[in-house]
Structure formats: C-alpha cells, structure tokens
Amino acid sequence: MILPKPTEERLDHLAHHWGVHPDWVNAWDDFDCSMILDGYSPEEVMELRRLYY
C-alpha cells in the first residue's frame, strides 16, 4: 500500500507510541490504518476485526 508521506510518518509515530513492531505495521491494511489514524489502539482494531470479519 502506498501512503502519502505525512500519513506514513503519522502511522510510524503511532506504531512507536503503541509499541508496535515495525513488521506488524507493514502488515496493516487500509482498514487497520484508517482505524488507527482515527485514534483506535492496535488492540482495539484487532478486536473490531474479530467482530466484523
């Protein structure tokens, strides 16, 4: 997935904030990225994924 630079930097910052391993960040898809940019934690996103998929 190709992201605009500021978005990519923001995701990197959020990943660092949540203590997420960079390899996991590379596995994030559009759903994960949009939810995390909306302010959900990676754990909350995983829970939402379980509920909706």
Degrees to nearest 5, angle at CA 16 with 12 and 20: 100
Domain of residue 23 covers 5-52
Residue with more model confidence, 37 or 23: 37
The total number of structural domains that make up the chain: 1
Residues with Cβ within 8 Å of residue 43, at least 6 apart in sequence: none
48: left (phi over 0), alpha (psi -120 to 50) or beta: alpha
pLDDT of residue 39: 93
- Helix (H) or strand (E) holding 5, with range, is helix 5-18
Return the DSSP state at 20. Answer: -
pLDDT in tens, 18-35: 888 878 788 889 989 999
